[in-house]
Amino acid sequence: MKDTLEIRTRDYAWFKSNTQKYKQDEDYFIKNTIQEYGKNLKKNIENYYVTQDVAKKICFEQNGKIAKKICEEIIKDNKRDVNDIIEKEILQIKEEERIQDIKVIKFADEEYPERLRTIKKPPEKLYVKGNMELLKQNSIAVVGSRKYSVYGQNMCKKFVNNLVGYNLNIISGIAAGIDACAHRGCLNAKGKTIVVLPCGLKNIYPIQNKKLYEEILQKGGLIVSEYEPDEKESSDHFRERNRIVAGLAIGTLVIEARRNSGASITVRHTIEQGKKAFCIPSSLENSRGLGTNQMIRDKRAKLVMSVEDIIEEYPELNLTPNDNFDFYEITKKENETNLVKNKKSNKLKEELAPSEKQKLEVSEEYQEIYNNLTEESQSINELSRKTNKSISEVTTLLTLMQLEDLIEETAGKKYRKKT
């Protein structure tokens, strides 16, 4: 049997030299260093060249926590495949690193965004992840309905793309619908986008947009929240985050919105902060756009037909279009094609049986309460008794369902399905 100390010294030196490369190339460390180290270690353990204590000791070096865990797993079960162990531990460490990437900006810090300092109830601190430089740059908030029409989707694509062409970032809340459409449109135009969450950064809401969340970070975007990393979303958080969406932006653009929607709250904050709001008009037959039309009628927002209608409101910023940028225009042919598609889509929805339509529109977390609702109004207490859920839980779910246009509130704080 070889001398244990000699093997310990050799493996320690090998590991130390290779971990230095981790600083320059994470992939090298993960794919080569750890794998080779794990194989060599397993071989030594199987041949009794290294004792359990020595195996642990040789791993106390920078980023050695990965290898240390691998050592412990190999020692515990020599028969397990080394690569399986490595993959599992690397995923765990990557998750820890993801959480550790969160930075905290306090109100007194130099990095705290100036635009937020002057708003009503500015957050005491911000939790951020990603490109913090975006907080110093000019951005437009883009908000709207969680269920958009084909028209709304096209307008979102056109306006977001062209706003990026004027070197403006896009801010939204990554919710389903116009929010997510705005973020994706910005990424497609190779722009930068900021997400303001109604929860902590360890949570992602809605979870179905997790891939979009990750893509935003990969492409130089920023995630912002005023809540502790473990905090979950709530009805109050949705309303509160709207003031930050408006506060970080130079103005707010509403694509489509129903009456009394979350987008109208963002517009209210925008106006209170002394900034400009903009609305794209909708057909009077489009229920998703009644809120935008109402804001235009009440002169709370400027009617815009092109991005230039927005740009002209900021002469002091000297916003000019990028010469080589591919600005987007919707042709008449595209409008006609989308109108046909929209009619087919509406016809399909009308032909769906009620059970099929429900599965199509209502997520699993809302199913129990939604199934207990009818076209007759019911109180929160009634729904709490029927579903055996707490009053606070029912209240939160009802608020979220309202925001997604699934239900409506009636007199006396009662609720019913939208017809």
In the structure, how many helices (H) and strands (E) does the chain have? Answer: 19, 12
String of DSSP letters for 55-115: HHHTT-STTHHHHHHHHHHHHH-TTS-HHHHHHHHHHHHHHHHHHHT-EEEETTSTTS-HH
The tokens for 302 are 């400027």
Name residue 98's amino acid.
R
Burial 293-332 (b: 16+ CB within 10 A, else e): bbbbeeebbbebeebeebbebbeeeebeeeeeeeebeeee
**Residue 201 near residue 129 (C-beta atoms within 8 A):** yes
Helix (H, G, I), strand (E, B) or coil at 153: helix
Tokens of 210: 């997790």
**The predicted structure's pLDDT at residue 289:** 85
The kind and range of the H/E element at 410 are: strand 407-410
Q: Provide the token pair at 349.
A: 């929805």
Kindly report which listed range (98-112, 287-301, 395-409) carries the lowest average pLDDT score. Answer: 395-409
What is the per-residue pLDDT for 284? 81
Work out the mean pLDDT of the chain and round it to a whole number.
Answer: 76
Between the alpha carbon of residue 86 and those of residues 93, 382, 410, the distances in Å are 11, 52, 56
Place of tokens 């016809």: 347
pTM: 0.62
Query: 172 pLDDT band (50/70/90 cuts)?
Result: very high
Report d(CA 383, CA 380) in Å as an integer: 5
Q: What is the pLDDT of residues 371-381, one digit of tens each?
A: 888 888 899 89
In 118-177, which residue ranges form alpha helices assigned H by DSSP? 150-165
Q: Are 59 and 33 in contact (CB under 8 A)?
A: no
Phi, psi for residue 304 in degrees, rounded to 5: -125, 140
pLDDT at 384 over 60: yes
Range in 260-269, 304-313, 399-408 with the lowest mean pLDDT: 399-408
Q: What count of Cα atoms within 13 Å lies in the side-chain half-sphere of residue 340?
A: 5
Is a pLDDT exceeding 80 seen at residue 346? no
Q: Residue 50 pLDDT > 50, yes or no?
A: no
Q: At 169, give phi and psi (nearest 5°).
A: -85, 165
Percent of the chain with pLDDT over 90: 37
Sign of the CA dihedral 380, 384, 390, 393? negative
**Mapping DSSP to helix (H, G, I), strand (E, B) and coil, where does residue 130 land?**
strand
Q: What is the pLDDT of residues 354-372, one digit of tens each?
A: 333 333 346 667 788 888 8
Looking at CATH, the fold of the domain delimited by 104-336 is given as Rossmann fold (3.40.50)
Choose between 320 and 375: higher pLDDT: 320
Same fold, 104-336 and 352-417: no
- What are 14-45's pLDDT values in tens digits? 444 554 443 444 444 444 444 555 555 455 44
Query: Which tokens hold the place of 238?
Result: 């949705």
Is the pLDDT assigned to residue 214 strictly greater than 60?
Answer: yes
Q: Which residue has the tokens 């005491």?
A: 124
Name the nearest CA neighbour of 145 among 293, 248, 307: 293
The reply to whether CATH 1.10.10.10 applies to domain 352-417 is yes
DSSP secondary structure code for residue 27 in this structure:
H
pLDDT value at 99 more than 60: no
- Can you give the residue ranges of every domain in the chain? 4-100, 104-336, 352-417
Mean pLDDT of 70-79: 55
Residues 48, 254: Cα–Cα separation, whole Å? 69
Element (H, E) at 252: strand 251-254
